[in-house]
Structure 1
Amino acid sequence: MASTVSSRPIPALYTVYILRSTMRHASLYIGSTPDPPRRLKQHNGAIKGGAARTARASLRPWEMVGLVSGFPGPVAALKFEWALTNPHLSLHIPAESRLSVARQTKKNGHPRRPPASMQSILANLHLLLRVPSFARWPLRLHMFVPEVHAAWNKWVASQAVSEEGVPTTEPVEVLTDFKPSATDSIFGADEAELGPAWGIHALPLDYGPMRDYVDKAQDIFTFEREGDCAVCHTALPAGQGLYAVCPNAGCEAVGHLRCWSDHLLQGEAAHDHDHNPEDAHLVPKRGHCPDCGGPIVWADMMKELTLRMRAPKEVEKIVKAKRRQEKAADKAAAEADKAASKAAVAAAAAAEDLPSSIEFVPSSAVPKTKGAKTTKTATKTAKATKAKAKEAEKATKITQTTRVTKAASVTLPKATKTAKTTTKAAKAVAATAVGDASTVLLDRAESPEVIVI
């Protein structure tokens, strides 16, 4: 007989979703998929595929109002999907707890499926998440529409008190991710391209969230650093058993698979005051590491273990992706440091150049002092010299642009030379006057002119 044990690792994501028509909210559909965004495109006709029941143009576009994630594989998801679609027939629901009952029969004599509403689907979903068949699975409920989440909370509140009057605990974690108000798009094929990712488009479809965990485990077993079992403290020979690794960052606790299971089950029994030895579980759900004390989810440990044992090529891809991510982060950090260094050098250079650029505040803004007369005299001399220099340059330009005869052309170089000499002398006098004025300003702190650097 062929083995029924799967040779594939636990998938990164597998979901059972609830679909609702945006054109007619009474039209609902339940399905399962490992890729909700792609499946939604199929239902809306953007790509090939989808169910015949969702192919009517009058019901499109469809939206995923909620889904359940955390299934260990497609078979488990299909079982849950069938039970949620056929709550009147599912053997996962005890007869005394059944909420949906068939009132009619088909031509072949089989019970006809009762009509489903959003309220009935949520009620049966709440029931299925609590039955022993699914309560031990690491399932999560995701809600993407506020009104559906409100209906869920209303039903949970009505069922929150047990028959003994004691409030009951919720068996599943509920996560919400509603549509941002700034995203003006419809539920369709290109919704993920408009605005920030949210809802089904924000779900991790690959093993990306486990990169650090997978890389740590790969490093431990590649360099044979298994050491001793974290639970029974016996040696772990390399490559001679199924060893699980603590998922917490910074902890390299490794142990036998059976030892981890016993440790977590004992922890669950110790926290369960109503524990009955006859109802002992075979598979743990969660607990704490005996070394670091951090929280442990059994499904995460099994996902990493099945990846390492059944998909070495996938592990290699994950490790390479992590290395590329680290290199990109190091490169970005180096570029940031380089930019910061350039900015610091530029700031230092600017600080050195500051004294060369000075601004004179008008004397009207500063009270007059005894040195004001000397400064004014130097300023007047500089202005007179500059005026004479401008007149000389103007005379030179006129001489150069005026027609002259051969007799006059002999005297032109002399006039030009005289003008240049006059200009140089004027500039020298002006520079001397400005230097004298600056000396006066710098020597006298109470000068009417203030230097602003």
Structure 2
Amino acid sequence: MASTVSSRPIPALYTVYILRSTMRHASLYIGSTPDPPRRLKQHNGVVKGGAARTARASLRPWEMVGLVSGFPGPVAALKFEWALTNPHLSLHIPAESRLSVARQTKKNGHPRRPPASMHSILANLHLLLRVPSFARWPLRLHVFVPEVHAAWNKWTSEAAAAAAAAVDAPEALLAEPVEVLTDFKPSVPDMYGADEAELGPAWGIHALPLDYGPMRDYVDKANDIFTFEREGDCAVCNTPLPAGQGLYAVCPNAGCEAVGHLRCWSGHLLESETHNHDNGHEHDHEHEHEHEHSHDLGDGPLVPKRGHCPDCGGPVIWGDMMKELTLRMRAPKEVEKIVKAKRRQEKAADKAAADADKAASKAAAAVAAEELPSSIEIVPSAAAKTTKTTKTTKTARATKPATTKTKAKAKEPEKATKITKTTRVTKAASATLSQTAKTAKTTTTAAVGDASAVLLDRAKSPEVIVL
């Protein structure tokens, strides 16, 4: 007989959404999807897919005004979707709590679905999120339109007032409040006339995490614990945890490596919920340890929702722990991808930090260079002068014979006349050259004397002299 247990991990995101036509607000649609942005494009005809009921051009474009997230898989989301679409038939709603009742029948004798409005959908949604079938799941309500959020708050207030006034109010109305998250449309014109994902910061369905990115640090920490066999002792019962011999859950809080048996974690969280609900305060550690394993499978809920870690005291959500556990046990390749992505992210962050430090150092050096005194004198050294003079002399010596030889070959017939003229020019310029050399020598001697005087005079000066 084939097993009915799913071999896939809990998905990163699976939702049941409420769709409303922007052309006619009375037209509503309920569906489920793991990818709300892609599904909205299908309903609007941008990509293939969608539903026949949303294919009418007169009703497009559609908008997602709200959705419920946190389903452990597609089957769970489909059950919730059907119950919300057919509240007059769903067995998840007790008869005494049913809000939608069929007034007509079809030709086949089945009850006809009553007309849906935003008010009726929100009322049934408020009820379904509190019935025992779905109350223990980590479900969250996301609202993206202000008037829908106002309608939700109005109905919630009316339901709370009715439950407080009633003597035997339904248990669903007395349950704890549902977590509601809002992310409204920014003030951008023609938001639905273009691709919403490309207009400014992501908001609404485009800001929802479609992958396991938010759990990257948690998954990496758990992977390190079990890869290097650092399970240690159970954080609840304090017994050793043999490596690879059981289902162990890990605390999701950063910096805490508390590991425990799955049953121990469940009992601890359920016991904490019971104590907080009955007494409104925490019991001491001895009393809690006494009732640690006294939870009977027959009384009370079987699946915990949230609590606190016995080691670090931080908040713990059971759904997040189960998502990491199923990911580790059923999708090791996905865990490897997540860990590699985290390593790449860390390397990119380190490189960005190193580049920032290098840029800061260059900026500081530039500022320091601008603040140096402007009256800095650069006096070339004698060795530099000698080297330069030597190079010039060698170049002149190498060039002069070749030039003279070329001229002699080119104009050989007038050799005697040119020699005489050259001799006369040489004799005539000899005196001038001697006088120029004497003047240059005198000037150089004076300049050297002045430079020495400058060096001597500025020896006590704070100015910098580069030799």
For normalisation by structure 1, the TM-score amounts to 0.78
Q: 1:281 aligns with which of 301, 312, 319?
A: 301
Alpha-carbon distance between aligned partners in 2 of 1:169 and 1:177, rounded to the nearest angstrom: 25
Alpha-carbon distance between aligned partners in 1 of 2:89 and 2:193, rounded to the nearest angstrom: 33
**Cα deviation code 1:202-245 (max 9, x no counterpart):** 00000000000000000000000000111111111101110110
**Cα deviation code 1:127-167 (max 9, x no counterpart):** 11111111111000000011111111111111122544499
Aligned twin of 2:192? 187
Q: 1:216 aligns with which of 207, 218, 221?
A: 221
What count of residue pairs does the alignment treat as equivalent?
392
- Sort the Cα spacing of 1:135 and 1:188 in 2 relative to 1 into closer, same or farther, 3 A: farther
CA contact (8 A) 2:252 2:320 kept: yes
For normalisation by structure 2, the TM-score amounts to 0.75
Aligned twin of 2:130? 130
Aligned twin of 1:258? 263
Residue 245, structure 1, aligned to residue 250, structure 2 = yes
**What secondary structure, in the 3-state scheme, does the structure 1 residue paired with 2:68 have?**
strand
**What secondary structure, in the 3-state scheme, does the structure 1 residue paired with 2:148 have?**
helix
Give the letter for the 1:338 counterpart: K
Alpha-carbon distance between aligned partners in 1 of 2:217 and 2:368, rounded to the nearest angstrom: 42
- Sort the Cα spacing of 1:355 and 1:198 in 2 relative to 1 into closer, same or farther, 3 A: farther
Aligned ranges 1:338-377 → 2 under 5 Å: 338-355=358-375
**Cα deviation code 1:242-269 (max 9, x no counterpart):** 0110000000000111111111111011
Q: 1:202 aligns with which of 176, 197, 207?
A: 207
Deviation at 1:184, TM superposition (A): 2.7
Deviation at 1:121, TM superposition (A): 0.6
Alpha-carbon distance between aligned partners in 2 of 1:335 and 1:204, rounded to the nearest angstrom: 30
Give the letter for the 1:191 counterpart: E
- Sort the Cα spacing of 1:159 and 1:262 in 2 relative to 1 into closer, same or farther, 3 A: same
Alpha-carbon distance between aligned partners in 2 of 1:163 and 1:145, rounded to the nearest angstrom: 27
Aligned ranges 1:9-408 → 2 under 5 Å: 9-165=9-165, 170-181=176-187, 183-187=188-192, 190-273=195-278, 279-355=299-375
Alpha-carbon distance between aligned partners in 2 of 1:312 and 1:331, rounded to the nearest angstrom: 29
Deviation at 1:170, TM superposition (A): 4.6
RMSD, aligned α-carbons: 3.7
**What secondary structure, in the 3-state scheme, does the structure 2 residue paired with 1:273 have?**
helix
**Cα deviation code 1:24-66 (max 9, x no counterpart):** 1111000000000000000000101000000011111000000
Alpha-carbon distance between aligned partners in 2 of 1:123 and 1:32, rounded to the nearest angstrom: 19
CA contact (8 A) 2:163 2:174 kept: no
**Cα deviation code 1:50-90 (max 9, x no counterpart):** 00000011111000000000000001100000000000100
Structure 2, unaligned runs of 5 or more: 167-172, 281-294, 378-424, 426-467
Alpha-carbon distance between aligned partners in 2 of 1:337 and 1:327, rounded to the nearest angstrom: 15
Deviation at 1:285, TM superposition (A): 0.7
Alpha-carbon distance between aligned partners in 2 of 1:79 and 1:46, rounded to the nearest angstrom: 28
CA contact (8 A) 1:41 1:188 kept: no
**Cα deviation code 1:101-148 (max 9, x no counterpart):** 111111101011111111111111111111111111100000001111
Deviation at 1:193, TM superposition (A): 1.0
CA contact (8 A) 1:40 1:188 kept: no
Give the letter for the 1:111 counterpart: P
Give the letter for the 2:177 counterpart: P
CA contact (8 A) 1:135 1:171 kept: no
Give the letter for the 1:340 counterpart: A
Deviation at 1:279, TM superposition (A): 4.4
Alpha-carbon distance between aligned partners in 1 of 2:155 and 2:374, rounded to the nearest angstrom: 72
Give the letter for the 1:174 counterpart: V
Alpha-carbon distance between aligned partners in 1 of 2:115 and 2:303, rounded to the nearest angstrom: 36
Alpha-carbon distance between aligned partners in 2 of 1:118 and 1:326, rounded to the nearest angstrom: 46
Aligned twin of 2:386? none
